[in-house]
Amino acid sequence: MPVEPLSQKEVEDRLAELPGWSLDKDHLIRSYRLGSHFAATAMVVHIAQVQEELNHHSDLTLGYNTVSLAVHTHSAGGAVTEKDFELARRVEDLAPGHGAH
């Protein structure tokens, strides 16, 4: 089933519900600073598990104590879709301060 791109207004409305996330060209982006390299690596593993569950994979970058994501939907021509926001919400649930770590 094809995934439909969201309109600019739909993207803006959904971004308002996800503090810390923003739009950079055609990607939803977010970076997290964690307390250590180990904590950042553990978050990457948890994100990878969510990506597998959703069958939706983002660009994921691990730094010393940072994790950055760039999310868009290839099957929608690289546009932002509801799938991207589902992944973003699930990643937010993993973030420090949300009880998942």
Give the domain extent around 14: 6-96
Amino acid type, 47? I
62, part of any domain: yes
Residue closest to 94 by CA, chosen among 35, 37, 31, 50: 50
pLDDT tens per residue, range 13-54: 999 999 999 999 999 999 999 999 999 999 999 999 999 999
- Distance (Å, whole) CA 18 – CA 88: 8
Q: Categorize the per-residue pLDDT at 97 as very low, low, confident or very high, splitting at 50, 70 and 90.
A: confident
For residue 24, give the amino acid letter.
D
Residue 24: which CATH number? 3.30.1360.20
pTM here is 0.92
